[in-house]
Chains A and B, each alone.
Chain A
Amino acid sequence: MKTDPATLLQQFEPQETKSIVADPQVTEARFSPCGCYLAAGGFDAHVRIWDVSGDEPVELPPIIGHNGWVHAIVFHPTDDILYSADSWGQIRATRHDGGELQPIWDCEHAHDGWIRQIDLSPDGSRLASVGADGRVALWNTADGELIREWSGHGCDVQSVRFHPDGQRLVSGDAFGKVKVWDVTAERSDAVRDMDASTLWLLSRLQDVGGVRLLRFSPDGAWLACGGVTPKNGGTVQGKPTLLVFDFASGEVKHTLVLGEEKDCFLHDLHWHVAGFLIGVTSGTPGAGRIEFRRLEDEKPFFESTRYPNCHSVSVPSDQSLMAIVTTNRNSNGNGRKLDKDGNYAGNNSPIQLFRFGKKEA
C-alpha cells in the first residue's frame, strides 16, 4: 500500500542539525558510508574532511596534492578509502580512518584535464571516471591500474554511474547522449545509446547543459538523467529537469521538472532506499531548491527554497543523514566589492547537515 505524502513528510522531513562553512568554496560533499565523516572537494585543490560524529564538526587534515578544483569524491563502500579527482586530470586514493591520511596511489594524468565525475562499482573493486577529454575509463581501485577505456562519446563526458549489478556502466555527455558500457566484456563500443538531448541546447556559440548527473534506482530498473532544459547560454537559465528512463527498454517514462527557470541546474540527486528522490538545484545566485518526491507523484512531498544554490546532496549508507552544499547569500555582483578591511573577498560554501524525520518529543 502506497504511503501517503503526509506520512512520508512526517518520516523524512529534514531537520537541521549542524552547519559547516567551507571557505573557499567546495564543489561537492560526500558522507563516508558510516556517516561519521564528511569530505568535500575544494576550489583550492584540497579535499577537506570533517568528523561529524560528535556534537560539533571537527575538521581533520585535508588531502593535498590535487590541482585546480577537486571536482569528484567518492568513499569506498567498505574500506576506509577515499577516491578524489580533480580538474587537471588526477585521481588519488587515500586511506583515512580519522587519523593520519595515507596515500595509496595516485594517477596524475588519468585524464587530459577536467575529470567530471567518478563512481565506484558496488563491490568497490572498480572505479569509473569521465572527463572533458571525452574518455570513459575504468580503474582497479586496489592499485590504480587502468583496466579499460572507451572514447565513443567524442566530446566532453560529464557524468558516470555504475549499474547496481556492477556489470554495466552508463555515461552522459555534453550533448545529451547517454551510453551504456559492458564492463565485463572486451568490447570497445557502447552496448546501446539513450537520448537525453533535451538537456542540451546550442545557444549562439555555446553548447549549454548536457547530462550532468546519472542515478540508478536501488533496484536498477530506472535510470535518472539530470540537468537543465536550457533556455539560453551565457547566464544559463532553464528549468531543472530529470529524465527517468526505464533502463530495460531505454524509454523515458517520467520527466520531472524540479523548479523554475531561475533554478536552472539539477545539480545532484540521491535515490533514497525508501523510494523517493532527493534533488537539489542551483541557478541564479540565491536560488536553490531541495525537493523530495516520488516518481509517480505530481508534486514533491517536501520542498524548500531556504538554502541558496544547492550544489550537492549526500546521504550515508544508513540513510539517516543528509548533507547539502550551498553557497553563501549575496554571492554575486558586478565590479569592485571590498570587505570592511578593504580586501576582495571570495564566496564560501555553507554545508548544511540534516537528519530525517521529526524528533520525537
Chain B
Amino acid sequence: MNDNRFLCTPQEHFVTRRRLLGTTAGLSAGATLGAGALGGLVQPAIADDLSKRDKQVLFIWIDGGMSQLESWDPKPNTKFGGPFRAIPTSVPGVHFSEVLPRSAKLMDRLAVVRSLCTQDNSHSAGVARIQRGDPKNRGVTYPYFGSAVARLMGPGKSRLPAYVWVKPGSGGFIHQDAGFLGPKYGALAFGDGKPPENLLRPDSITADEDDARHRLREAIDGRYAERRRPLISDANKYVFDTARTLMDRRELFDESAFSQSDRDRYGAHEIGRHMLIGRNMLEAGVRFVKVNSYGWDTHGDNFNGHLSLMPKFDQAFAAIIEDLDVRGMLDHVLVIAMSEFGRTPRINGHIGRDHWPEAWSLVMAGCGVKRGVVVGKTNELGTFVDSEPYDIGHLFHTWFRALGINSAEAEYDNNGQPLPIAHDDCKPVEEVLA
C-alpha cells in the first residue's frame, strides 16, 4: 500500500517553471513504483570513479522495428530477401542493403552484430524489455539503459542532466525509465528537440527577483525534505536544479545556430534535426543521449516504407558518426543504434514484415568497441541465427564493459537487496570489444 505522506502536490512547488511542475508530480508518482527502493550501488566508489571519466553514450532508438534484411544483414536474391540490392561497404566482404549507402562507407568505423536472438515479439513488452536489458525476474523493475548509465556514471562535469532524450512529439520527465533506481534517474525528454516550455525567465521578473524566489523555494524545499524520504526530496531538488541549469544552456536547443552545411548533411527531416541536437548535447557533456524515431512498424508496405525511412536514418546516422569521429569523440562516446526486434523474413499479404526477435541486427561504434567488425551471422535465408546467439543481456554486459564498468562485479543496491546490473547468465560479446 502506498504511503501518501511521500507524495507531493503541485501546490507545494508553485514557484517552479510550469513544465517541470508537471514533472515533479510525475517524479513523486514514479517514486511509488519502487516504494522502499533506494537504488544505489553496493560499491559507491565505482560511481565516484566513473564520474571522473568522460565516457558518453549516444543511443539511437528506432522504435517499431527496423528490418535487418533492409539494413545491416541483407540477403539479396533469396526467397525472403526483398527487392533491394546489397552494396559493398568500406570493409571488404561486408555488405549492407543499398538503402544505407552512407553508412556503408563508414563500416570501417562500425561494429555490427547480426546474431541477436531475443525473447519478445510484442512492442508493448519488447520495448521495455530490451531497454531494461531483460534481466532475471527479481520482483523489481529494472532501469532502462539510460537510467542505468545515469546512476552508474553520474552526470559528469557538465552539470547537465545525465540522461536526456531527444524525441518526436512531446517532452517531459520520463521517470518510469528509472525503475527501482528512483525517479531522479529518469529521462529528461525534449519533445521535438525543444527545451521545456516556459524555460526562459519572463521579462516581468528581474534576475534578482528570480534569485529571491529560488532561495525561497530552496528554503521551503528544505523544510519539506525534513519530512520526506531522501529519494523524494533528492528527486525534487534534481528537477529544479536541472531547470536552472538548462536556463543557462539555452543554446543547446538553438537550431538556428547550426550551419547550413550541418543541416544539409544531417537532413531537414525529423531524425536529422534531432540527431544534430543530440550532437549538441554530447558536445556539452551530457552523459547519455537518446535520439529516437517512431513509425518503423512496417507490417504493411514494408519495402516502400524502408525505401523512404532508411535513407533518412542513413543520412543522420552517417553524419553523426562522421562528426564524432572527426572531433575525436568516438574515443569516448559509445554509439548504439537498434530497435526492439527485427522483422520477419516472411513477407505478408500487405507486403509487410511482422515482428521477428529470432535473428536480427544492431550496430555500434565508438568507445570500447572494435572498428570494422561483424559479429555473428544468420543462415542463408536470414531466418535464424547461424552462430552463437546473443540476447540483450549479452549486449548490456558488452556496453557496460565498453564504458569501463565491470558488469560481472558491479551491483545495484535496492534497499539492501544486491542486484546484478545485467543478466547474470549472460556475458559480454568479446568479439566486438576493443
Contacts and interface: CB of A to CB of B under 8 A. Distances in A.
Interface of A: 24-25, 43-45, 67-69, 71, 87-88, 113-114, 132, 156, 174, 203-208, 210, 232-237, 264-265, 282-286, 288, 308-309, 326-328, 331-337, 344-347
Contact of B83 (A68, A237, A326, A328): A68
Interface stretch (B253-261, B305-313, B368-376): B305-313
Interface string B9-49: 00000000000000000000000000000000000000000
B414 interface: no
Given A206-B308, A208-B305, A344-B384, 15 more contacts: A44-B79, A205-B293, A205-B308, A206-B295, A208-B301, A210-B304, A234-B305, A235-B299, A335-B354, A335-B356, A335-B358, A344-B345, A346-B346, A347-B346, A347-B349
B379 to A, nearest CB: 10
B76 A264 contact: no
Contact of A335 (B98, B121, B349): B121
A45 B270 CA distance: 35
Contacts of A328: 349
A150 B248 CA distance: 53
A39 B270 CA distance: 42
A68 B299 contact: no
B348 interface: yes
B312 A205 contact: yes
Contacts of B269: 205
Q: SS class of chain B's interface: helix, strand, loop or mixed?
A: loop
Interface in B260-309: 269-271, 293-301, 304-305, 307-309
B348 A327 contact: yes
15 contacts: A25-B347, A68-B76, A87-B85, A205-B269, A207-B308, A233-B295, A234-B305, A235-B352, A264-B350, A282-B349, A288-B349, A327-B349, A328-B349, A337-B346, A347-B347
Contacts of A332: 299, 348-350, 352, 354
A234 B79 contact: no
Interface of B: 64, 76-77, 79-85, 98, 121-122, 168, 269-271, 293-301, 304-305, 307-309, 312-313, 344-352, 354-358, 381, 383-384
A233 B294 CA distance: 10
B350 A282 contact: yes
Contacts of A347: 346-349
A285 B384 contact: no
B262 to A, nearest CB: 19
Contacts of A44: 79
B348 A331 contact: yes
A67 B347 contact: no
A234 B347 contact: no
A305 to B, nearest CB: 13
B355 A283 contact: no
B98 A113 contact: yes
B62 to A, nearest CB: 10
A344 B344 CA distance: 11
A285 B302 CA distance: 13
A235 B297 contact: yes
B345 A235 contact: no
Contact of B308 (A68, A113, A174, A336): A174
B210 to A, nearest CB: 38
A333 B83 contact: no
Contacts of A208: 301, 305, 308
